[in-house]
Structure 1
């Protein structure tokens, strides 16, 4: 069968898969295919998804069949054949060991020898060393960073704890200082109050002393050279009321009796169990009774001054011996203790 001329450009319609010739289906070939001698086998329709498109003169070609044929040719010992077509073409592959032997050593190459210097083990060790050092450095950096964060957190927690402790201590110190200040203030107040009270008492005492001193100049003892024998309120059968109603100044008969204060003689004369009695009424209405006198030197209605003689000690009336029985009565007539009354006037018998 005569050979056909060069095949015409064919466009594949179904898809855009890449053809065995190195370019996508559907694009025209850059160079025309060589001569091809079809046979009955090569033009037999292929069953399956691919269609055989009939061309001029009843000839058709499938790119898929052609691709399968090429792959089979390469796989069969490097010989490409076309059924009943071209003679086989031998494809030779060079020996890799021969190519390797003809190459120069890597150490002799400029700029490369330093990188691959030394034995394989040394080179591997040296190559691995920087990686190991880098990994170790990265690990140490990560550990140091973690350690720094932990230490920073610990320092922050410690600082917070110290701050809280300091605040607590300051609050406790403030509270303690406040309590101490309150105690000191209370003590100071008590001391000031005591001092004030003492000063007030001292002032009252001095005022009373001054008052009594002035009264002492205004009042006088009723007699002198005496002995107190019976006091106000003493109990006994010798007194009709059952108790003593005055203060007794035992003294020799004829001892002068003096007016204790300026006043007016209210009465002077005999008075039964009291013997001779003189009643001296003071300006405030208080009455002073002088009883058991041996003689009287004043009469009723007479005004007398402090210390003026108004009579003499005697033993008249219901007595056991010479003495002055002195009684003091308030303006309403109530009898009171003559000793206390004299002391209130600055006079101490």
Structure 2
């Protein structure tokens, strides 16, 4: 390796007490020759980095971190000193200029990054994203996520709306059915009421017409004992007819047209007349004081057939009336039968 030219004298030579601004004791030394090599002048990685100019030029400033000094020293090869010569002094660059250059470089780089509209990355972009003008993968992903979220929310809203409409429809159907049932029930009730009223009216008309052909057996009376009353006065243990209490001699009339099938004495019934109607019903008129008809005689409604008396087993003058449908031995309630013929005793 060629030796370097002798180092030039310097105005800043170390003495016994100071070298590069550091104090030394008298025991330090002797000074050795400094031969810089490639390894000794190589910058430590990661600690000093020099920004490159745009376009591939040299560094923006020759003063950054003393690069210029190192380059100048290395340009002529390895620096050597002649034996016995004073150590080579190296002048350090102005640190203020280095700071200014570094700040300028950082500021320029920040402005470049800030003003750049170039997306960070284009990875993940689809053809549809590119067609829509999206150049940033992150923005495209965000757009797709928002689109999916909106689609899902739309589906949820649609399902909720459909459920609400279905519930409303069911409620409307239920309400309509309820109203229809209520209307039908009301109509049925009104119809039933109308039918009952019509039936009652028809029955009243029938009874009124029937009453023209039926008559009460006597007048000026008082109802005393009724059908079914229990007591020791009657041999059967209960009353078998309806009693019309009236003064002796009060006229007894035929309740309806028919044929006299019996007229005479009947033991505990006293004088009794039996009138058989056309439907076979027998009417017994008992306890008479006198009889005005005979067996086999035809009578009409209202004809006199006898008089009220107190014959047979009695406690006072009255007409004892019994009704035997079809000539049966056991009679029914005369009150109900008379009412069924339109009569109200």
TM normalised by structure 2 equals 0.61
Matches within 5 A, 1:1-349: 133-135=115-117, 142=136, 143-333=138-328, 334-349=330-345
**Cα drift, residue 160 of structure 1:** 0.9
Contact 2:292-2:306 at 8 Å conserved across structures: yes
Contact 2:248-2:318 at 8 Å conserved across structures: yes
Q: How many residues align?
A: 232
Q: Could you tell me how far apart the structure 2 residues matched to 1:294 and 1:124 are?
A: 151
Moved over 6 A (4+): 119-128
**Cα drift, residue 264 of structure 1:** 1.0
Which residue does 2:10 correspond to in 1?
Answer: none
Secondary structure, counterpart of 2:212 in structure 1: helix
Which residue does 2:67 correspond to in 1?
Answer: none
Q: Could you tell me how far apart the structure 2 residues matched to 1:228 and 1:124 are?
A: 133
Q: Which has the larger radius of gyration?
A: 1
- What are structure 1's unaligned runs of at least 5 residues? 1-118
Secondary structure, counterpart of 2:310 in structure 1: coil
Cα–Cα, structure 1 residues 271 and 135, in superposed 2: closer, same or farther, change >3 Å? same
Q: Could you tell me how far apart the structure 2 residues matched to 1:146 and 1:259 are?
A: 113
Contact 2:282-2:327 at 8 Å conserved across structures: no
Of structures 1 and 2, the one scoring higher in RCO (CA 8 A, sep 6+) is: 2
Secondary structure, counterpart of 2:116 in structure 1: helix
Which residue does 2:13 correspond to in 1?
Answer: none
**Cα drift, residue 180 of structure 1:** 2.0
